[in-house]
Amino acid sequence: MPQFPDAVSNQNMTNWFLGSFDTHIPWWFILVVIKAVAAFAILVVLTLFNIWYERRVVSFMQMRIGPNRVGPQGLLQSLADGVKLALKEDIVPTNADKPVFWIAPLLSAIPAFLAIAVIPWGPAVSIFGHWTTLQLVDLPVGVLYVLAISSIGIYGIVLAGWSSGSTYPLLGALRSSAQMISYEVAMGLSFAGVFLYAGTMSPSGIVNAQQHGWYFYMLPLSAIIYIIAMVGETNRAPFDLPEAEGELVGGFHTEYSSLKFALFFLAEYINLVTVSALAVTMFFGGWRAPVPISLWSGANSGWYPMLWFMIKLLIFVFVFIWLRGTLPRLRYDQFMAFGWKVLIPVSVLWLLVVALFRQLRNAGDLDRAHAVPIGIGIAAVFLLLVVALEVRERNQIRRTPPPTVPDYEPLAGGFPVPPMPGQSAPAVPRRPQFARTAAAPAPALNGTTAEEASTR
């Protein structure tokens, strides 16, 4: 039991459950209920907000306006969409495995809510005169708990794809699970560095340990790896392969409709919040105020920290949206190769370097004057390694001879066919009168390659 000042014995709690309503309801329990409801409400509202946020930001990036009709600035658009979804037919395909098809969205959504429980939103505050931390529960293994809970969500996805009894969802689910477990490894490895510095796995402990410096600049590579991995983990662009419309229609939830579909959507956006909150907690000081504000002594007490936390969180959500608005989707093999061949070895080696550094510091063999040049040296070696690998890759690409393409046959197999990649159609000699009307580019026509000509 968290040591709240008003903690009462279990006896009282049991009595309360047995219906002795005249018994005093313990304050810690009321606080727990308040905080649980608040966490739930924050997640739901954040989801509605984030969907709107995403649509608006992407719209502005694409020179559109986005939803602006329902409510002020279109803020209630997502709510309206939710109501609309509830009024749509709930289709259960004939081929579906009915019970599993029903359970899958639940299995996806419920763990998504649970993961947020250990994230500290702020330090202790007073609620109705009772001190409590702005954190639902402070587990000593909190981060492990988040990892564990978020992997349960994968079951929801796999079972959704499998139970649909359809090809696209199955493929989407397989991809999704393969992707999530691949990036979970890198994610887990990037956390190890933080634990090493903080000496604890409790999120609040990690936030406290960042009092004298946030980990994103003390452990830059860990932070970068985590940020990449979290995008992969949430199936967001540019890693949104499970939902590659061009290949898989909607991915694992192709066969879902109505509120079941909405639950998957909800889970995805909650996961977005969870991983962002985790990023803030692990690497960006949690609820601690950023540098200029932190000079003000009151910045890290009271309700203000929740504000800082929220701002940081929304910045992260913005980054997600920014990525989606900017980057094209990766090819699946590139994506897997990046996860397994770059992220994992780099994070393992980085962890060893961090550990070595830390041990040298602990043993007193390393002071600040030496640490900086050594750090720069290690960074340089890493950079060189990356460059060397890249150069090798390019050389390999250059050395592979271009595939030999047979000459273009306009009527291969008896049908008129277009030129394949690498082939080019012969330039069609134009009739004189057309050549004259297209007078301006006429000199260029001779100079253009056959390929360009064929594309006209």
Partner 1 sequence: MPSILAASTAAASNTAPFTAPHVEWGKLSPMLIVLGAATMGVLVEAFAPRAARYRLQVGLTLLALAAAFAAVIALHDTPTSVAAAGAVAVDKTTLFFQGTILAISFIAVLVIAERRTEGGQDAFAAQGGSVPGSQQEREAVRAGWLTTEVYPLVLFSIGGMLLFPAANDLLTMFVALEVLSLPLYLVCGLARHRRLLSQEAALKYFLLGAFSSAFFLYGAALLYGYAGSVQLSNSDPHNPGIAQAVAAHAHGPALLYTGIALLGMGLLFKVGAAPFHMWTPDVYEGAPTPITGFMSAATKIAAFGALVRVLDVGLAGSVDVWRPVIEIVAILTMVVGGILALTQRNVKRMLAYSAILNAGYIIMALVSTGHDALASLLFFLPTYGIALVGSFAVVTLVRDAGGVEATDLSRWAGLGKSAPIPATLMSIFLLAFAGIPFTSIFVGKFAVFQAALAAGAPQLVIVAVLASAVAAFFYLRVIVVMFFSDPMPDGPTIANPSIAVKTALAVSALVTVAMGVAPAALLHLSNAAAVLAR
Partner 2 sequence: MDTYVPILALGLIAAAFAIFSVVIGSLTGPKRYNRAKLDSYECGIEPTPQPVGGGRFPVKYYLTAMLFIVFDIEIVFLYPWAVAFDALGWFGLAEMVLFVLTVLVAYAYVWRRGGLDWD
* Residue closer to partner 1, measured from CB, 301 or 395: 301
- The residue written with tokens 């009282």 in the block is 12
- Which is it for the CA torsion 107, 262, 47, 134, positive or negative? negative
Residues near 277 by beta carbon (within 8 Å), at least 6 away in sequence: 116, 119, 309, 313
Helices (H) and strands (E) in the chain, counts: 19, 2
> Which of partner 2, partner 1, none is residue 160 near (CB under 5 to 8 Å by kind)?
none
Taking the alpha carbons at both ends of the chain, their separation in whole angstroms is 74
Residue 147 C-beta: closest distance to partner 2, Å = 9
* Residue closer to partner 2, measured from CB, 61 or 85: 85
Instruction: Give dist(CA 226, CA 241) in Å, integer.
Output: 19
Residue 427 C-beta: closest distance to partner 2, Å = 37
Residue 11 C-beta: closest distance to partner 2, Å = 13
Interaction between residue 33 and partner 2 (CB under 8 A): yes
Instruction: Give dist(CA 356, CA 23) in Å, integer.
Output: 57
Interaction between residue 80 and partner 2 (CB under 8 A): no
> Which of partner 1, partner 2, none is residue 184 near (CB under 5 to 8 Å by kind)?
partner 2
Interaction between residue 100 and partner 2 (CB under 8 A): no
Residue 446 C-beta: closest distance to partner 2, Å = 43
What residues between 127 and 186 interact with partner 1 by CB under 8 A?
131, 133, 138, 140
Residue 389 C-beta: closest distance to partner 1, Å = 16
Among 123, 153, 193, 242, binds partner 1 (CB under 8 A): 123
> Which of partner 2, partner 1, none is residue 123 near (CB under 5 to 8 Å by kind)?
partner 1
What residues between 281 and 310 interact with partner 1 by CB under 8 A?
301
Question: How big is the CA angle at 331 (ends 161 and 274), to the nearest 5 degrees?
Answer: 60
Residues near 399 by beta carbon (within 8 Å), at least 6 away in sequence: none
What residues between 335 and 374 interact with partner 2 by CB under 8 A?
336-337, 340-341, 344-345, 348, 351-352, 355-356, 358-359, 362-363
Residues near 189 by beta carbon (within 8 Å), at least 6 away in sequence: 225, 344, 347, 348, 351
Instruction: Give dist(CA 185, CA 228) in Å, integer.
Output: 12
Residue 13 C-beta: closest distance to partner 2, Å = 9
User: Please, are residues 134 and 125 in contact by the beta-carbon 8 Å criterion?
Assistant: yes
E strands along 135-209, which residues?
none
What residues between 184 and 243 interact with partner 1 by CB under 8 A?
199-202, 204-205, 208
What residues between 247 and 266 interact with partner 2 by CB under 8 A?
249, 254-255, 258-260, 262-263
Residue 396 C-beta: closest distance to partner 1, Å = 17
Which class for 253: exposed (0-12), middle (13-18), buried (19 or more C-beta within 10 A)? Answer: buried
Q: What is the DSSP string of 364-393?
A: T---HHHHHHHHHHHHHHHHHHHHHHHHHH
Interaction between residue 233 and partner 2 (CB under 8 A): no
* Residue closer to partner 2, measured from CB, 3 or 446: 3
> Which of partner 2, partner 1, none is residue 174 near (CB under 5 to 8 Å by kind)?
partner 2
User: Please, are residues 141 and 229 in contact by the beta-carbon 8 Å criterion?
Assistant: no
Return residues touching partner 1 (CB under 8 A).
Answer: 2-3, 123-124, 131, 133, 138, 140, 199-202, 204-205, 208, 301
